[in-house]
A and B are shown apart, each in its own frame.
Chain A
Amino acid sequence: EDKVVQSPLSLVVHEGDTVTLNCSYEVTNFRSLLWYKQEKKAPTFLFMLTSSGIEKKSGRLSSILDKKELFSILNITATQTGDSAVYLCAVVKTSYDKVIFGPGTSLSVIP
């Protein structure tokens, strides 16, 4: 059975801290891995990763994929209160017909 696991499930940090969110997967016919940020309503797209070892970067956020060990990490440096959200990891299968989400990591950044 396809599975996407995220850890930790929740995290509380102080502004300025650096956090690492983890996503591991057991999925047949893997094609790509997606990271989303969900605040109140619709998740917003962060990164799409298809190749191992290539870091994607956007401002203070970065992510990398390891297809051999079947995991990805999302790093956030110098966290701000606006980073407080649920971060969702999802895996797309090669058939395009299914996207499997992990349970999410709830991040709270306190001043």
Chain B
Amino acid sequence: GAVVSQHPSWVICKSGTSVKIECRSLDFQATTMFWYRQFPKQSLMLMATSNEGSKATYEQGVEKDKFLINHASLTLSTLTVTSAHPEDSSFYICSARGSHNEKLFFGSGTQLSVL
């Protein structure tokens, strides 16, 4: 299957700092990337959908100014958690798919801990 690389795998930061998470499709062009958040023992909660070259579409309740998403190329999308607070601590995972392809390929996720 296709490979999606997500970096970093885990990050610990102080409250008030910003954290950037990268998601790269290594062997295909990802026209659409999705960002999810997952709390322990819960399912994936879609945060936003990003299409290359356009603004991300955020789900209801997700602050777009807090969770900045950039999808500048067909192989890279970034999620920046701005002014992180302890309640932002969570597992963030990206997924990507090519044009008109239902299958999603997932990154390995990023565990964010905000102190």
Residues on A close to B: CB < 8 A?
31-32, 34, 36, 41-45, 48, 50, 86, 88, 90, 92, 96-104, 106
Q: What number of residue pairs across chains A and B have CB atoms under 8 A from each other? A: 56
Q: Is B74 an interface residue (CB 8 A)?
A: no
B106 within 8 A of A: yes
B92 to chain A, nearest CB (A): 11
Known: A42-B109, A96-B32, A97-B57. A88 touches B102 (CB 8 A): no
Contact between A88 and B32, CB atoms less than 8 A apart: no
User: Interface residues of B, CB < 8 Å — how many?
Assistant: 25
Given contacts A88-B43, A103-B43, contact A96 B100 (CB under 8 A): yes
B49 on the A face (CB < 8 A):
yes
Q: Which residues of B contact A41 (CB under 8 A)?
A: 93, 108-109
Residues of A within 8 A of B42 (CB): 103-104
Let me know if A98 and B46 touch, CB within 8 A.
yes
Near A by CB (< 8 A), chain B positions 48-72 give 49, 57
Closest chain A residue to B106, Cβ basis? A42
Cα-based distance from A97 to B109 in the complex (angstroms): 21
Q: A42-B93, A45-B1, A88-B44 are contacts. A99–B106 as well, Cβ < 8 Å?
A: no
Q: Write 6 A-B pairs (CB below 8 A) sorted by A numbering.
A: A42-B93, A42-B106, A42-B107, A100-B46, A101-B36, A103-B42
